[in-house]
Amino acid sequence: VSDPSYSSSWALPNIAAPTAWDTTNGSGITIAILDSGVDAAHPDLAKNLVPGWNFVDNNSNTSDVRGHGTNVAGAAAMLANNGTGSAGVAWGTKIMPLRISNAEGTAYFSHIAQAVNWAADKGARVVNLSFNGVSGSSTVKSAADYMRSKGGVVVVSAGNTSGFQSYPASDSFLVAAATDSSNNKTSWSSYGEYVDVAAPGLSIYTTANGGSYAKVSGTSFSSPSTAATVALMMAANPKLSPADVDKIITATALDRGTAGWDQIYGYGRIDAAKAVAMAKTYAGTGTTSTTSTP
């Protein structure tokens, strides 16, 4: 891509996103960003935005009251080749801004669940939830299950406590821990049975409120990188079920830590190119195939 600050985005080549873009940029898929809102006037986001909803004030004003949502949206879907900033992992996807938090960054599980259900009903295929504690909420889990019944996937950040979290493993969510440029866990990334994969979360160059840019850190940004990789997979093969997505993104991840799954990295650091390549030829029967079966 030709964006002036692309060289600041170490995470994109780290997960082989540019190779994935040879197949798809995510066009045709909508990612719902459940957060503090999104700066709709940002030159690197505006063209990718679709209407959303504000579940805090129950109106259509989804402007960003904290800045966090704009950071998250950019990591997922910052526009490419438009002469400003850098690019998001799935820069051809649409962003659906759903405001669920106040200016302090606090959100109610009830609002989150409402927003997940709303996104599912409005056709979003991917939901990003960069909030700590979501993995432990039965209310949000029920909404995530509804999203999956509609063919969508809910991606959640592991949290930034630096310690073990006792949330159970769940098929309802795809949970992302954070890695650095050496593919090692960041010091602050939470871990536990609930972690599925890891993705870049340190010093991520992204969009910021007021049309600006920032470098940000947290599992809040490994989550949208993962959500955007899911969007690339779905764009490459719209027939993928949520279970197919889970299988492919974990099977193609770069194994880190203990061999196979572990509590720190899950199945490993995501690889967008390998995930998209497998998604493209995935038959949905638990195998990949390029030839028809008799």
Q: Phi, psi at residue 190, to the nearest 5°?
A: -70, 160
Q: Hey, which residues are catalytic here? A: 35, 68, 220
What's the Cα-to-Cα distance from 31 to each of 102, 186, 219, rounded to whole Å? 21, 26, 17
